[in-house]
Amino acid sequence: MAKFKKRPVIPIYAIALVWVIFTLVHPLYRVSDYVTVILLSAVVFIVAKGIFPTISYEMPDPQPQAAPSASEEEPPAQDAAQEAQEEAPSSTGDPKIDALIQEKDRALQEMRRLNDAIEDEIISRRIDQLEDTTGKIIDQVVAHPEKLSQIRTFMNYYLPTTLKILNAYDRMGAAGVSGENIDSTMQRIETMMDTIVMAFHKQLDALFRDDAMDIASDITVMENLLAQEGLGGARPDQD
């Protein structure tokens, strides 16, 4: 138990009151006047202390707070850092490939937005094809970074220009009016879409040119070797 004392303030106020009343009734001109008021103040203080004594009381000691359990403790900083790392996009370790992946995500997201906004079914199907082919082109380069130089023109011109054309088509269609400029431009874009889709397909096919040449060379060597060993001939289903 903790012990406390509460000292009353009334005796102090009583002394102050004595000085106020005394100076009003009998101004302090002489030393004896000061002695008188001091003695009178002491008497009043003693009397007031007797009437209003110091109060002593006890209070229980504060209970110590229980330490938080392991389940209530905040997660370690290591866990927080791990969560932040999981939320952040993964890195391949190659800044150019990381930038390529980010550009792919932005392009495909924009294509999906345009596909939802454009009502023309034919254009919508073409956008589906462009989205699929674009993803395959970039995924192929991510898997084989040495092919990055082969799609530089595709990434710097063909892809952004295609998105620009589709955005123009979307804006003109949303205008809701028919006019010479709008109609002719939208018609040219509709005609151009087949060519763009074909160009994207050719870009994807070009990424496999070296692979095709390697496989063709392997096939030629194997055919010659089989012929030399006498293992060649007609296929079993041609007997």
* pLDDT tens, N- to C-terminus, the chain (239 residues): 555 566 767 777 777 776 677 777 767 677 777 778 688 777 777 876 677 676 665 666 666 666 555 555 555 556 555 655 555 457 778 899 999 999 999 999 999 999 999 999 999 999 999 999 999 999 999 999 999 999 999 999 999 999 999 999 999 999 888 899 999 999 999 999 999 999 999 999 999 998 888 899 889 999 888 888 888 765 656 55
**Residues 25 and 139 grouped into a single domain:** no
41, part of any domain: yes
**Residues 36 and 109 grouped into a single domain:** no
**Residues 28 and 144 grouped into a single domain:** no
**Residues 36 and 100 grouped into a single domain:** no
Q: pLDDT value at position 50?
A: 73
Distance CA 82, CA 84 (A): 5
**Residues 144 and 39 grouped into a single domain:** no
Q: How many domains does the chain have?
A: 2
Distance CA 115, CA 22 (A): 98
Distance CA 149, CA 162 (A): 20
Q: pLDDT value at position 76?
A: 56
**Residues 14 and 131 grouped into a single domain:** no
Q: pLDDT value at position 47?
A: 76
Q: What is the 8-class DSSP label of residue 56?
A: E
Half-sphere exposure of 16 (CA within 13 A, CB side): 5
**Residues 222 and 155 grouped into a single domain:** yes
75, part of any domain: no
Amino acid at 114: L
Query: Closest Cα to residue 130, out of 215, 180, 204?
Result: 204
1, part of any domain: no
**Residues 114 and 184 grouped into a single domain:** yes
Half-sphere exposure of 217 (CA within 13 A, CB side): 6
233, part of any domain: no
Q: pLDDT value at position 206?
A: 95
222, part of any domain: yes
| Residue 208 belongs to domain with CATH number | 1.20.5
DSSP 65-76: PPPPPTTTSPPP
128, part of any domain: yes
**Residues 39 and 103 grouped into a single domain:** no
Asked if residues 26 and 64 have their Cβ atoms less than 8 Å apart, the reply is no
Interacting residues of 17 by C-beta distance below 8 A, sequence separation 6+: none
Q: pLDDT value at position 227?
A: 87
**Residues 222 and 124 grouped into a single domain:** yes
Q: pLDDT value at position 63?
A: 62
71, part of any domain: no
**Residues 12 and 118 grouped into a single domain:** no
Q: pLDDT value at position 70?
A: 55
> Which residues span the domain enclosing 41?
7-49
- The gap from C-alpha 183 to its chain's centroid, in whole angstroms, comes to 42
This prediction has a pTM of 0.58
Strand partners, 59: 2
136, part of any domain: yes
